[in-house]
Amino acid sequence: MGYIEKSMGRSEALRYRARFAALSCGCVGPAVGLGGRGALLLYASSSGALSIAVLLSGLAAFLVILVSIWTTEIEVTNQRLIFKRGLLWRSNPELSLRAIEEVRLQQGLFGRLLNFDHLELRGTGVDNMRLPVLADPMGLRRALQDGMAATAQVGATGAPAAPAPAAWTHWQRIPR
């Protein structure tokens, strides 16, 4: 059970869990590959200590990238967006779905072809929040907009919202 599941209130339900793009994990291979190749070239030229240092720096880059991916959670509940980062030092910006004014997708040509890119959120009374490169940013955007519409409907009528709109059927209910 992750941090977000532990911090959810009783009336909250998880609606969407964002995933990192495979491209984010794709930069891990070159970090190790360049470190390994550099180490082999230096070892072949009789620079043993320097080759070990280059290899260790490649492994360190590998670990830094993977740990940042493993310790980041981005999820949408029926009340808020939660963006948790960090292992030892935790950064946990949250945005109430009622406070979100704009969800902006920044997707280039390769992002459209491979279905990844950034989302930028603008809200009332908070700084802009730029999310990292994610897989299926349109799915996250759709989840945010559906949740924003549902919370606006609840706020306008003062009564609980009607059953989930048909657009919510694409979400997978994540067991607690």
Q: Is 94 exposed, middle or buried (0-12, 13-18, 19+ CB in 10 A)?
A: middle
Q: How many residues make up the chain in this entry?
A: 176
Cα distance between residue 156 and residue 67, in whole Å: 42
The model scores a pTM over 0.75: no
Q: Which of 164, 176, 170, 5 is nearest to 84 (CA)?
A: 5
* Nearest residue to 168 via CA among 2, 8, 14, 1: 14
pLDDT at 115: 85
Summarize pLDDT for 135-172 with one digit per residue, the tens: 888 999 999 999 888 888 876 666 554 444 444 444 44
- What CA–CA distance (Å, rounded) separates 118 from 21? 10
Between 144 and 174, residue with greater pLDDT: 144
Question: Rounded to whole angstroms, how far apart are CA atoms 153 and 163?
Answer: 11
> What are the pLDDT digits (tens) for 67-81?
888 888 999 999 999
C-alpha–C-alpha distance, residues 123 and 3, integer Å = 23
